[in-house]
Structure 1
């Protein structure tokens, strides 16, 4: 999640899934509009059926769900990506908004860990819901079983200021900051600015953990294409720290080992008249 665009949210989702795949069968769900998302290019294009092959108003088999996911190769374990990899001129998909629908899809697909790359701006979503007197999308994501919110921001003065405002909004709404992980993504090499270090100290008292994602020139120049073999070792180390922090937050909040997650109820059997 992020308070604004350009917060390295998709990059964080990618490196988190890469590290989580060593511990669990992992999938990333891309919730952004196709032409605003890097995932179609990162996942290798339309080789897999993607989200277009999974109509949300029809029953789906596990084989069909998993077959629609693109496969990303990682050093310690592969993981899946569900995105819309069609050509740019295809009509936009009508995707379900409730997070429970995505949870159900991940459970039906048999994945153990779901990384949802959300597209909404968290403070605006929470404030709008308060004004309308309705539940926020952010709260719905946080209320999913064993969820760990990951809040992303650029490691700049403006980035941490926006993040701090988002944290105040989340705190005012009683959302689970205690099991949230903050990621500060560096925009250049070198030590973070003093204002970023001070913000990290403040946030560490409210969040479960604060992780610094270093600047990676290859990611900045080339993105995370199908073969991200040139990602720097320190970036991979930060990804492992992030995955460790996410799992630790989940275990501290829900138990160690984590109990079995609830499974969506199966569809009732349909009686067929013999002919």
Structure 2
């Protein structure tokens, strides 16, 4: 995971949106695995892309080598309803649900609502795995700043999610995974002289 070491409650950095930019960074750094935590609205992105005739961010992430989508939602009635909408949109576009992992996170103590249990059961046949993450008050208060204090069940859920992602990758591309292709380096273009005026039409590279 590439991280900026900022406090979890601070604002987001201005980062490149294109998935290929993150893949370029990951491959250039020689990482064995990269976790990209996106915040785009999956269902909205898929519908907007379809309407505009473009690929969309979700499809671009899914098309990267050895990518395993992880769809996260709150383990509440509204949370799983939104997730089911995203799943339907992804299925309609032919996105790789068979290698996707769903993670449902409980927002509080208590029993899992019946609607969440029913949704989890329904999703089992559509995606690679469904993982339940229990409520952990330490995360709510401190984020992951002190991971040693995470609850046992939280750690077990994390292990289960990682194992599900790896299993989905192995089922799709084999075990062991072959090295991901390294993107070609961008060609070096001329460095503009700040003392010279910019030609009409802008700079070209």
Which protein shows a greater Rg?
2
Q: Are 1:127 and 2:101 matched, yes or no?
A: no
Is the aligned partner of 1:148 residue 2:68? yes
Structure 1 runs, 4 residues or longer, greater than 4 Å off: 267-270
- Partner Cα distance (1:99, 1:112) in 2: 17
Select the residue among 170, 174, 181 that pairs with 1:251.
Answer: 170
- The residue number in structure 1 matching 2:58 is 138
**Equivalent position to 2:106, from 186, 200, 204:** 186
By how many angstroms is 1:100 displaced? 0.9
> How big is each residue's C-alpha offset from its partner over 1:161-218, in whole Å with a ceiling of 9 and x where there is no partner?
1100110000001000000000000112233111111100000100000000000011
| Alpha-carbon distance in 2 for matches of 1:28, 1:180 | 21
* Structure 2 Cα separation of the partners of residues 156 and 200 of structure 1: 11
TM-score (norm 2): 0.85
- Alignment of 1:232 onto 2:198: no
Q: Measure, in 2, the Cα distance between the counterparts of 1:253 and 1:28.
A: 25
- Taking a change above 3 Å as real, the CA distance of residues 167 and 96 of structure 1, as seen in their structure-2 partners, is same
1:264, distance to aligned residue in structure 2 (A): 1.4
Task: Report the CA distance shift for 1:29/1:145 in structure 2 as closer, same or farther (over 3 A).
Answer: farther
1:266: how far off? 3.6
1:46-89 CA distance string (max 9 Å, x none): xxxxxxxxxxxxxxxxxxxxxxxxxxxxxxxxxxxxx84xxxxx
Residue correspondence of structure 1 range 1-275 to structure 2 within 5 A: 27-28=1-2, 40-42=6-8, 84=13, 93=14, 95-225=15-145, 227-266=146-185
Q: CA RMSD in A?
A: 2.1
The whole-number CA distance in structure 1 between the counterparts of 2:3 and 2:45 is 20
Structure 1 residue runs without a partner (length 5+): 1-26, 31-38, 46-82, 85-92, 271-275
Question: Which structure has more RCO (C-alpha within 8 Å, separation ≥ 6)?
Answer: 1
Q: 1: CA distance between counterparts of 2:2 and 2:77?
A: 30
In structure 2, stretches of 5+ residues that fail to align are 190-205
Give the alignment's TM-score, normalised by structure 1: 0.64
Provide the C-alpha distance between the structure 1 equivalents of 2:160 and 2:110, rounded to a whole number of angstroms: 19
Offset at 1:267?
Answer: 5.2
The structure where strand makes up a greater share of residues is 1
Using the alignment, how far apart are the partners of 2:158 and 2:101 within structure 1?
A: 12
TM-aligned CA deviation for residue 29 of structure 1:
5.7
- Tell me, in whole angstroms, the C-alpha distance in 2 between the residues paired with 1:237 and 1:147: 23
Whole-Å Cα distance in 2 between the matches of residues 137 and 173 of structure 1? 13
